[in-house]
Structure 1
Amino acid sequence: MATSVPPRFCTDYAKRVAKCQKCKMQLEKGVLRMGKIMPNFFVAAKDPSKPPPDMKQYFHKECLFEMLFKARPTTKVIDETEEIEGFEDLNAEDQDEIKKLVDELTEKRSKDGPAEPKKTPSKKKAKDEVEETPSRKRKNEEPAKSKRPTEFNEESDYNSFYKFLKVCSVMKDISSSSEKSAVITSMLQKKGFDGDLMLWLSFLIRESDKRDYNVTDEKMVSYFAKILDTDEAKIQKYISKSNDVALSIAHAHEKKVTNEKSNWSLQKVDRFLEKLETLKEDDEIVKHLKFAAKRFRHDELEVLIRLIRKELDTGADAKVVLKGVHSTAPNVFETDGLDKVVDKYYNNGFEDSKKAATSKKSEPKAKKSRREADSDESDAEESEVEMSDSESEGEGDSDSEDTGEEEEDISGSDSDDVSEISSDEEGDEVKENSPKKVARGTRTRPRGSNGNIVKKEECPPDMEACRYGEKCYRKNKQHLEQFWHPSAQ
């Protein structure tokens, strides 16, 4: 069984053009490069009797140290410059830069602490171990763990800086605030969304970025004039026309540099901005900005400059962006800050508050529906009483013909009813389907198809009347046999 061999590291100046194994950009001939030396087990597999030959993977120094900064505590990294083969052959300036990166890496790993070995739980309890009572267990219970991720996949499309550009472009083209919020909602609701919401929101809401980048608009123009090797007056000419610093520098960059879109992640851009905040000298800032300008396309550089200037041109303020997360997120942001919004999102805090609100609203509605049902039943009882009274009066009349005439008069069949007469002045034709108006407070007895008054049907004593009556929607045989329904007239 092959044992794992820790990698070695080397550095030199490129003897030929190659590709960086991290960013896939070219390592030009003569530039500083760093290498990771590992055994080539693929070659060794052909002849197991011989030790595996060395294999070198080359990187930009920034790309290599970016990988080492994210490495696990147990992974072998560069602890001191003496471990880098060929370090003594570099010039003094490059040695100082690498030494600075090594010191930052060592400081970070010392803060993180050593990796703790995993403990294997014992199957049997010790004899002197006391069984915990339920009450004691409750006291010792840890608070519920947060579901908020601590690490994100930088290779994911939802953590891509180019994806961020696309979202900004879509929001910029939309005028409606609600539609701008819907762009954020749509992205968050996509299946498999694994983006770093904190970075998305802090980039979109620029007032939440508390960093000071020490770069004014005048300095920005001066820096990029040096980086692009162009006249500062040309960039100022673009600015006077567009009144937009970021767009003007991007325009000058497009004329000088032809790059494909980069594969930078939001996390890498955040680290870039974090380092920019620490730089004070002009030369250091120019070198740092140049690193991005050589790798970015012009539209990516434009957005990067807007992030530095804290003026993203999406037309969406904090309230609009946060409404895309949840309708109550702006209130949480005002009271508790952006970090609390992100916590609530990952721990379903917004859903819990929504359920509580809906349950409170549903309680009065339920009470109201009960009151309406009670009132309907009481109305039905009153109508039954009135109907029985009118029937008893009809049965007591001696002259049935007079009664019929009276009923016709009450029903309002005279030509005075406007709803039954068409608007045609030439003829007094009555509309067939128009409803007949009945004077308020009057009641008519039900009549059959032959015009005779129909007596009210009564429920048999051995059955129970269905509460829905003729309007009952149940058609199953069991229900019809169990409950009495009045026959449709």
Structure 2
Amino acid sequence: MSNVGSFGCEYAKRGTAGCKQCKQKIDKDTLRLCKVAANPFSSEGGEMKMWYHAGCLFSTFERARATTRVVESLDDLDGAESLQDADKKLLQRLIDDLAEKRRNKAAGGARASPKKLVQTTLPVSPAGKASAGASAAASSAAASAAASTLPTRAPLSMAGPGDSPEDAAKDNAFRTFRKLVAEIADRPGYSDKTRVLAEFLAKGSTGGGFKGDLSLLIRLLLPGVERRVYNVKDRQLLKIFSGILGAPIDAMQELLNSNGDIAETVGIEFDKRGSGAAKSSLSMQEVDAFLDRLAGLSREDDQGAAFKQLAAKCTGNDLRMVLRLVRHDLRMNAGSKHILDAIDPNAYAAFQASRNLHDVLQRALAAKASPVKRNLSVRAALMTPVLPMLAEACRSVEHAMRRCPNGFYAEIKYDGERVQVHKQGQQFSYFSRSLKPVQPHKVAHLKEFIPRAFPGGDNLIVDAEVLLMDTKTDKPLPFGTLGVHKKEAFKDATVCLFVFDCLQFNNDNLMLRPLKERREEVKHRVHLSEAELIRSPAPLERLLKRVFNEGLEGLVLKSLDGVYEPGKRHWLKMKKDYLHDGAMADSADLVVLGGYYGTGSKGGQLSIFLMGCHDGEGTWRTVCKCANGFDDATVAKLQKSIDWVKYDRRSPPSWLRCSSGLLPDCLVRDPKASPVWEITGAEFSHSSQHTTGGVGIRFPRVTKVRDDKTWREATNLQRLQKLAAESKRFTGDAGGDGGDDDDEDDGEAAAAPPPKKAPAGRKLAKSAEASSSSPPKRQRLQLPDALKSARICFAAEVLPAERRELERLVFAYDGDVVDEAADATHLVRPDGAAAGDSAPGVAVGSVSWLRRCLAARRLLPVT
């Protein structure tokens, strides 16, 4: 039975798919809706899913005919039962709004409001008045629905009964906020930054104390705390302000490449053209209302109209600060601790535990007003994620014994995904290490078993690791196998939850109890993760040897008397690449092939490097992207010491094999004259992103500059593959890249499936850095993305010269070339070759078929 015309919903797995309506990427773990349509690329019919932001899909329904099928209830969305409650409420709101609009339209009533049709020329609101009314009139259904899901933020005014409104207005002025940010940024020491804010709160603008909205002030100072998603990145901002200001986008792009700061880039062009107000009249409330509105807009035209309306009231410095708020980076080098310490000495610890900023501020003010002096309590809140406690690297057994002289628990460090489970009655919530909701397919079945594991536990918070276990060998499978498509390749496996800590049981807060007591509290209620009590070096050495021999990741060491401290690195972790100065880690001598522009303090500099090796046949293959190992001074020197040339997508070099998701901003002019660096990682990993036949390096970092080696003495492809095979730890597809530690990684990395069990149609993970640094859309139109969805594998019978020519064309048309047929969507054989076996789900075409696709500039059915 065909599903064409039906609808579905899920959370984005990788963040690479684009919305069909607004053309923007749908961020990872964000709710997305799909409409099932016929697949035009298949000769056998078939179906394909077209993805949308929730608001974008419903905006298309508003323009649809009355006979067009639309989503009329949650039952029309396949997968809605697995969504978080907040997202179900959002969808129901969109459904109700759509139904009302369709009823009005049918009655001949409310067609599109005239105000919406002239949104780009909305008049500027009078100074001092919030533009929320105009914003609401111009917002789409998506905007109103998204705004409804934002947390309630009641004002927290510090003005007293006798204080004048003028004093509060001065403290709430956006100009005052800008001045405060500049003063904090100018202070080099963290304690000085805290002191600046504390003095401002004590004195305010008039010297009589801060009279404005404290909650709003702190939220704006910490834009990453209640992280609103704006669906706009640097590339879109360039395009929007190029249109508003009439500035050439190419010149703005060059300026952005040189300074790495979108706010400064737009501000310079804004000042140059004398746009905007002569004096700042914005209030913090107006800016906050604009940010709420922007968070609900996904179409570029609507975003441009909103920015245009705000820009008319901004000075250049106002606009710079607004853009910094949109990019969640005020560039003042002050985090939550430095800001909250100015409120109360315990405010940061309380926030780490509850993540409820408004509640912490409210309690801090109440504690200051109380005649009885008391400390701000540190407590967790059910259904609100607690910042997890972390571990720092431990590089020797001796160091572990010094840190925990009274003994410690040594727990197996499994290579899974950390999850925090909250249960309140029959309601469950699951949060990742980064405090985001866990994708439902990873934890869907746990709801049935947790009540059995915790009998009598109506309310609880547990810290755990979720991973896939092989039911035949009873061993954990590699990191990344929890992906919805990866799990299908491991039929003899089941998802397991390894609980290693309990933060709350019913109404008892266990965080301030020693670890020994916390384990005693739950050990008779649930099977805890494996741990061994260690009091001397010999047992720890034996346990380390066993763990490494079994191919496990390492150990986490926890003091017997330690309490649970959210966000603190007071545990220890021991891994192969930490011990013996990294002598046990995997490493290779690789050549610098390209670079990517950094952001923040590295803005305008090539600070991320594409590393690779020679294959012995005149071609260079990519192995990993590396951003760790050099200080700022060394990175600055590398801008001139390496001969860089800008990468031209229209004319890719013949010497480089690089997947389209990893194309660098710049290439080295001559790879044979490029420096050789020793790259060390946690382990060799399976990578379908890179072009080394499946070999990548997990969490790479530069450990040594090999001036004694040239490209001839560097690790070549054959040697790299041998090193990976000899490591005997050929684990999941982590994309070949990662942070400086696997505890930092919450992404859905892919794993190497068993032979002949790889699911068809696997998607390649796209690099976030490469995506954000690719050329503007206007430039990319010169090269059609005809093969964007294709991963081509060439059969061994294709002549080398012909293969090299076709590979360059595939890359130029935004396709990818893979070495393994199981990783491909299409297998290309020579014309007239006899049909042979191919992996399930892989289409087999000829060289002539591929050339026809390139000539037609689209993917044709295989014949």
Structure possessing the higher radius of gyration over alpha carbons: 1
Task: Name the TM-score class by shorter chain.
Answer: 0.3 to 0.5
Q: Higher helix share goes to which structure?
A: 1
Q: Higher strand share goes to which structure?
A: 2
